[in-house]
Structure 1
Amino acid sequence: MIPLIDKTIKKIRLGLASKKAFMPVLLMCSCYLPADQGQSDNPAYKPLRPVFLSVEKALQKGDNTLFEQKKSHLKAYPLYPYLEALSLKNRFFHISQRDIDRFVKQHGKGLPTRQLQNEWLNFLLQQKQWRAYKMAYHKNPVPTPKFECSLGVAYLNTQHPKLAWKKAEKLWLTGSSQHKSCNSLFIAWKKAGKLTQPLAEQRFWLAIDDSNITFARYLSKNITNTPGQKRIEQFWKARDIPWHLAKSGSAEALGSALESTTQYVVKRLVRLNAQEGASLWLALRKTLPLNKTQKDKIDHWLALRLARNLRINYDKTLAQLDPHYQFSDVTQWRIRQALSRQDWPRVNRLIPQLPDKDQQHPRWQYWRAIAIASNPSAIRKTRVHQNIKDQTSDTLLKSLSQERDFYGFLAAEIRDQDVKLNAARTSVNPKDVRRLIRQFDAFDRIPEWLALGRYYEAQSELNRLRPQLSEKQRPLVAWLAKQWGWHFQSIVTAAQESLWDDLTLRFPLPKIDYFQTIAQENKLDTSWPLAITRQESAFHPKARSHKGARGLMQLMPATARMTARLNHIKYNSSRDLYNPAINIVLGTAHLADLKERFDNNRIYATAAYNAGSSRVRRWVKARGNLPLDIWIETIPFDETRQYVQNVLTYRAIYNRLNQQPGNMLSDEETSMLALVSPAENQVSMASPETSFEIP
């Protein structure tokens, strides 16, 4: 059990006041929040957990003595198979495939078996027991590059060259480097004369398609025939001098490699100089013998890249690349360009160019309503809903305001209504749950891992189990996860199974009293940091992003150090960020810092929490005079735009769940929406000659 947070936390003073006066060091105690145990804390297993941990530790050191002493006592414990697997691993020199088969028969093909099989295959590889490896792999395949390559080597060493060459050819055809265990297989394959020139050249172009230039240079050594060498020579020339593609004879010399070369060269030049790259492609597309599908592929990529640039008017180029509005995502960005200029007639013309399905999306229903209602000569009223003069616009907004999403909530704000939650709990039959638990042993092991705070193992168990579940069984996982206090998984599974209306699964309220205390100390409303946490980690205390952000509120270590220093919060190392109490204190303080940094603008602060302050400052400088809803819609990064919309929406939902007023925006924020912002707040776009930078 994680120790309860000390009562001295009540004395914490964070936020603006902490920067103006000396404060005692915060979090003097070793403060942790209690884990949400739910039904995962089975009292019958509680005395067995310390025994399990001590035996596991001994086995990991290679000592089986304690396991032999305690195994009869632990056999009824759900995690016992992991101990038995570790015991077998320690005795690999003294066991055979029969012992592995016996384990599989007894415990099934769950995660303990998968982990044991990985170790067994690695052992057989180290011992070069090729026949045993081949037998073990076929009994319980582990299709990773390492083990697949090793299977080819096993075929080679057991006099099955045809199978080895077939495996080598399959593994060869990739645009990136293979696992090092493939090296000996590829060497033997080449030595046997099985690497044909078409295969050698095919892999070169796969590397080019992946923009893996260094690897492509290495692969070019395998291409020895004259036609292949000429195609590669033409590629390098075009890479160095893009307009070389326009020369007579270049396309013929490239032959089947024309598409790969053209895509690579055009994309590379556009990234260096958008205007020149666009000019090159518009010239090439008239002369190169590419089919419509090939041309459309480049048209789409280039049009989308240009359309996303809100600082430069590429309307004429876009009209050439996509004259018939066949690329929906490009059309959506053309609408955003029109929004950034507040060109409402153009918005009205462009939205009907979207496919019918996209037109019905709440996003474009909202902007259709605003475009219809927006009239620069109209008298602006104090309350937005009084300004809606067009009945079609009013009808659209009225319909939208019934929806539970960002645009529905915006429509509700405009109409001065509370947001609609439209919640409905999922009906669960207890008999189905009991039947599910009896069918799969993993449902005994998962809550035990959670009780031990071992989220990685719990997630690995579920990942291994999920493909075996039926369509009827999968939604039950969300309900079980909620009972276990595993909020992350209840949220994820509810989304995977489209349980959109069950807000008890999708919007849990863990640590709500603690969030309230810390938010109040920072002069923030509770629902805002709660919504940030819901978006950042879905309440996963051990979450870590690929960039290194950690914990509930996904703080980078450098940000945590800076926030701790500014707010006089005790912080020792990045390991502290996996402590929920410290993470919430630091994350909420950082949010308060951002709010102050952006003059109390909650929307800018939310964007900065995701994209960083410097980037948001640039966006504010470029488009800060736009109405608030247009500014959000024209955030250049899809991730950040969705992030801001989600956080605002989640905050409104949490407000309602906490019996607070159901508004997404404050009165001041509502007054900054497009329908009440002065019409003269329009921005001009630079001509293509003035700037080539693409955000």
Structure 2
Amino acid sequence: MTFSISFAADESISTANAYSKDSSDDLWKKDEQVLAKQRAAFLRAERAVWSMDWSDLTEAVNGLGDYPLVPYLIAKKLRHRISLKDEDAIREFLKQYGSAPVARSLRRDWLRYLAKRNKRELYIEFYQPTRSAELQCEYLRYQYEDGVPKDDIFFKLPELWNIGKSQHEACDPLFGVWMKAGKLTEDLVLHRIEKAADGGQHKIIPYLRTLLPDNKRYLADRWREVRRDPANVRHLVRYPGKFPGIEAQILSYGLSRLIWRDEELALKIYSRAQQKIAFSDKQRARIIHRFAIALAIDAHPEAERWLIEASELEPESETMRWHLAYLLKKQDWQSIALLIEKSPAQLTNENQFQYWLARAYDTLGRDEQAKVLYEQLAKGRHYYGFLASAQLGIPHTLNNAPVEADNEILSKIANLPATKRAYELRQLERFYESRLEWVYAQRLLPEEEKTHAAVLSSAWGWHDQSIFTLSREGYLDDVDRRFPTAFAEMMTKEAKKNDIRPEWAFAIARRESSFMTDARSSADARGLMQILPSTARYIESRRVSDKDLYEPNTNARIGNKYLRYLMNKVDDNPLLATASYNAGWGKVKDWLPKNGVMPADVWVETIPYRETRNYVKAVLAYQQIYEDKLNHQPTDTRLFARFTEMTMQSD
């Protein structure tokens, strides 16, 4: 049974009508009515597709006409009880939809089906390059069995084998042949052991150990024990010097982890290790930079010595940033100026260092030098640019330059089959699939047209995709589309209900999710304002379902209530509340200066968590942009003027 689905532009419903300057609202409403009927028919057919025979499916497909999601219906039927008798239908479907997302799952399932039945010729025919190690290995195995030269196959295997975790079992037969041919080297085994120890699955190390000769197996033991507990580096007697380079690598890894757990023990062991172990320049640099940063964060008495040594050894931006933070905590402005002046220009030309050099000059009475740097920074639309404008007492700039859209290009993009599928999937709230289709549609565009995709998704109210597209294309000056007032009525209402500034709530949502309502973080935070289920339960005094957390109204209501909760915890200080939204108010209070006061900009720069530090800077900058947008005062400098006058201190 085969299908031929046509999406000719002159026959299909054009979503572009909604966004063209000459579009008719009445026409768009008519199209939406047609689409609504087709959606309902599609959903009915989709629910029944597994019980349909091919004649029923043909009738359903014909009834749907040009509805964009017809291929999803066909793919679902083909994937259900996949069978060799459907070979021709699958071939035709994959030929028509190629690498489109709608075809990827079908191709994957079909290839797995063919591999299970050892259909070598068909597998090779249908295979396309993929990131799936399972499918790659099956393909390479079939090529090997088909007589492709061994060296051509073996050349591709080290990259597949050398990963820090267990590889898919489909690769085992090919790896066995490769290893039997003597292609697996000791260096490759040791490299994989290192990967497994340093962030990978250390449980595979015992197996990898068996692949080493007897005299090197102790190296695998050392890697594993240091991964499990870096304090094991204290047993220097276990490093006999038989393979000094590898032993030094293990110790440098262990010491670089231990310094974050037990500073005094790490310092003591490194002092002893230097007398026994010949660390390479690279290994020594790794240790010194990690020690310098860890000691600086805790304001250790020896921090400055290590920071200076790290800078002299090999200047590096992260270590220099912590050197700066260490001096800022002491408010040693003379040393701050010297540090930045004497460091390599490729490190100090970043906005961050230029701002602090200006602040140092300002504090030291070098007013003209400070002014020159402030004025240069004030030209930019970023955290340090807004700070510099406030320091000068001049209006900041947004540099707003919207994409100049061509209606013909918009219409062309809107009429791409992948665009129509993306649009319809979004209407059905199948957000993941809709994003796959939308990204695929953009890959089909020439470079000069890709920013138009952001214009189209913005017009749909699909703000996260507009934001991501503009960022991906490096077009950062379309301020209105990059900082939309999404869900404006709802967000404003909930903010005011909780005595929260709406522009702050918008800034939080923009930073948290870019207004992606179904966003879910690795920490399990969910929805518009990225609420943890545990936070929602605490704020609401009841369990809140996952579905409700992905519902924008519920998420915004809980998110703004949580902002008010945090404000109450930190004496209505929005800067502390912003940091608390990211890191928790308990940690934030611990970061306040224990003695004396500290300027707010200095405090932000010395927040020990990089994520929270960058988060606070971003939210402040976003809040300034939203103040301009909501209050229609693009020269308003009050937010950063207040910020530059604020000081921080413990209760």
- Shared fold (TM-score greater than 0.5)? yes
- Provide the C-alpha distance between the structure 2 equivalents of 1:189 and 1:325, rounded to a whole number of angstroms: 41
User: Aligned in 2, Cα 1:637/1:572: closer, same or farther, shift over 3 Å?
Assistant: closer
- Deviation per CA, 1:359-381: give whole Å up to 9, x if none: 33332222122212225xxxxxx
- Provide the C-alpha distance between the structure 2 equivalents of 1:201 and 1:614, rounded to a whole number of angstroms: 43
Question: Are residues 1:151 and 2:139 paired?
Answer: yes
Deviation at 1:185, TM superposition (A): 4.3
- Provide the C-alpha distance between the structure 1 equivalents of 2:496 and 2:276, rounded to a whole number of angstroms: 66
Q: Which moved more, 1:595-604 or 1:494-503?
A: 494-503
Deviation at 1:96, TM superposition (A): 5.1
User: Aligned in 2, Cα 1:218/1:271: closer, same or farther, shift over 3 Å?
Assistant: farther
Alignment match, 1:95: 85
- Deviation per CA, 1:393-424: give whole Å up to 9, x if none: 23333443333211221222233334322211
Question: Are residues 1:483 and 2:474 paired?
Answer: no
- Provide the C-alpha distance between the structure 2 equivalents of 1:505 and 1:87, rounded to a whole number of angstroms: 39
Alignment match, 2:326: 337
The 5-angstrom pairing of residues 447-596 of structure 1 reads: 447-565=423-541, 572-596=544-568
Secondary structure at the counterpart of residue 265 of structure 2: helix
Deviation at 1:312, TM superposition (A): 4.7
- Per chain length, whose mean CA-contact separation is higher, i.e. which structure has more relative contact order (CA < 8 Å, sep 6+)? 1
- Aligned-residue sequence identity (percent) comes to 29
Secondary structure at the counterpart of residue 396 of structure 2: coil
User: Aligned in 2, Cα 1:428/1:588: closer, same or farther, shift over 3 Å?
Assistant: same
Question: Are residues 1:617 and 2:605 paired?
Answer: no
- Provide the C-alpha distance between the structure 2 equivalents of 1:666 and 1:404, rounded to a whole number of angstroms: 13
Alignment match, 1:360: 349
Deviation at 1:214, TM superposition (A): 2.8
Question: Are residues 1:413 and 2:385 paired?
Answer: no
User: Aligned in 2, Cα 1:161/1:203: closer, same or farther, shift over 3 Å?
Assistant: farther
Q: Which moved more, 1:298-307 or 1:327-336?
A: 298-307
- Provide the C-alpha distance between the structure 1 equivalents of 2:269 and 2:401, rounded to a whole number of angstroms: 55
Secondary structure at the counterpart of residue 99 of structure 1: helix
Instruction: Check conservation: 2:231, 2:258, Cα contact below 8 A.
Output: no
The 5-angstrom pairing of residues 595-610 of structure 1 reads: 595-610=567-582
Alignment match, 1:663: 637
Consecutive unaligned residues in structure 2, runs of 5 or more: 1-16, 20-27
- Provide the C-alpha distance between the structure 2 equivalents of 1:668 and 1:506, rounded to a whole number of angstroms: 25
- Deviation per CA, 1:197-253: give whole Å up to 9, x if none: 555444334433446433212321232x24323555676798775356589x833x0
- Provide the C-alpha distance between the structure 1 equivalents of 2:550 and 2:324, rounded to a whole number of angstroms: 42
Deviation at 1:272, TM superposition (A): 3.5
Residue from 614, 623, 626 that aligns with 1:642: 614
The 5-angstrom pairing of residues 365-380 of structure 1 reads: 365-374=354-363
Q: TM-score, normalised by structure 2?
A: 0.86
- Provide the C-alpha distance between the structure 1 equivalents of 2:566 and 2:64, rounded to a whole number of angstroms: 51
Alignment match, 2:208: 219
The residue type paired with residue 451 of structure 1 is: Q
Question: Are residues 1:242 and 2:240 paired?
Answer: no
Alignment match, 1:70: 60
Q: Which moved more, 1:458-467 or 1:227-236?
A: 227-236
- Provide the C-alpha distance between the structure 2 equivalents of 1:69 and 1:624, rounded to a whole number of angstroms: 78
RMSD (Å), alpha carbons: 3.3
Number of residues of Structure 1 aligned to a counterpart in Structure 2:
618
Instruction: Check conservation: 1:307, 1:330, Cα contact below 8 A.
Output: no
The residue type paired with residue 566 of structure 2 is: L
- Provide the C-alpha distance between the structure 1 equivalents of 2:629 and 2:85, rounded to a whole number of angstroms: 58
Instruction: Check conservation: 1:237, 1:244, Cα contact below 8 A.
Output: no
Alignment match, 1:229: 217
User: Aligned in 2, Cα 1:292/1:561: closer, same or farther, shift over 3 Å?
Assistant: same
Instruction: Check conservation: 1:62, 1:90, Cα contact below 8 A.
Output: no
Q: Which moved more, 1:313-322 or 1:201-210?
A: 201-210
Question: Are residues 1:430 and 2:402 paired?
Answer: no
- Deviation per CA, 1:501-537: give whole Å up to 9, x if none: 1112101112212222221111122111111111111
- Provide the C-alpha distance between the structure 2 equivalents of 1:118 and 1:278, rounded to a whole number of angstroms: 52
- Provide the C-alpha distance between the structure 2 equivalents of 1:64 and 1:597, rounded to a whole number of angstroms: 63
User: Aligned in 2, Cα 1:584/1:231: closer, same or farther, shift over 3 Å?
Assistant: closer
Residue from 43, 57, 61 that aligns with 2:47: 57
Instruction: Check conservation: 1:307, 1:333, Cα contact below 8 A.
Output: yes
The residue type paired with residue 510 of structure 1 is: A
Deviation at 1:644, TM superposition (A): 0.9
Alignment match, 1:382: none
Instruction: Check conservation: 1:351, 1:364, Cα contact below 8 A.
Output: yes
User: Aligned in 2, Cα 1:311/1:577: closer, same or farther, shift over 3 Å?
Assistant: farther
Instruction: Check conservation: 2:389, 2:396, Cα contact below 8 A.
Output: yes
Instruction: Check conservation: 1:402, 1:408, Cα contact below 8 A.
Output: yes
- Deviation per CA, 1:281-315: give whole Å up to 9, x if none: 45655764444344334433333333333455511
User: Aligned in 2, Cα 1:480/1:349: closer, same or farther, shift over 3 Å?
Assistant: same
- Provide the C-alpha distance between the structure 2 equivalents of 1:313 and 1:484, rounded to a whole number of angstroms: 56
Secondary structure at the counterpart of residue 499 of structure 1: coil
The residue type paired with residue 423 of structure 2 is: P
Q: Which moved more, 1:286-295 or 1:521-530?
A: 286-295
User: Aligned in 2, Cα 1:405/1:552: closer, same or farther, shift over 3 Å?
Assistant: same
User: Aligned in 2, Cα 1:407/1:130: closer, same or farther, shift over 3 Å?
Assistant: same
User: Aligned in 2, Cα 1:348/1:172: closer, same or farther, shift over 3 Å?
Assistant: same
- Provide the C-alpha distance between the structure 1 equivalents of 2:379 and 2:248, rounded to a whole number of angstroms: 48
Secondary structure at the counterpart of residue 500 of structure 2: coil
Alignment match, 1:178: 167
Q: TM-score, normalised by structure 1?
A: 0.81
Q: Which moved more, 1:447-456 or 1:64-73?
A: 64-73
Alignment match, 1:391: 368
Alignment match, 1:263: 252
- Provide the C-alpha distance between the structure 2 equivalents of 1:579 and 1:240, rounded to a whole number of angstroms: 47
- Provide the C-alpha distance between the structure 2 equivalents of 1:190 and 1:285, rounded to a whole number of angstroms: 38
Secondary structure at the counterpart of residue 66 of structure 2: coil
User: Aligned in 2, Cα 1:66/1:543: closer, same or farther, shift over 3 Å?
Assistant: farther
Instruction: Check conservation: 2:245, 2:279, Cα contact below 8 A.
Output: no
Instruction: Check conservation: 1:118, 1:142, Cα contact below 8 A.
Output: no
The residue type paired with residue 117 of structure 2 is: Q
- Provide the C-alpha distance between the structure 1 equivalents of 2:129 and 2:310, rounded to a whole number of angstroms: 48
Q: Which moved more, 1:450-459 or 1:632-641?
A: 450-459
- Provide the C-alpha distance between the structure 1 equivalents of 2:590 and 2:253, rounded to a whole number of angstroms: 31
Instruction: Check conservation: 2:157, 2:175, Cα contact below 8 A.
Output: yes
Residue from 87, 102, 117 that aligns with 1:127: 117
Alignment match, 2:38: 48
The residue type paired with residue 412 of structure 1 is: S
Q: Which moved more, 1:98-107 or 1:536-545?
A: 98-107
- Provide the C-alpha distance between the structure 2 equivalents of 1:98 and 1:323, rounded to a whole number of angstroms: 68
Residue from 580, 595, 600 that aligns with 1:628: 600
- Deviation per CA, 1:118-152: give whole Å up to 9, x if none: 12112223334344323322xx2333022123334
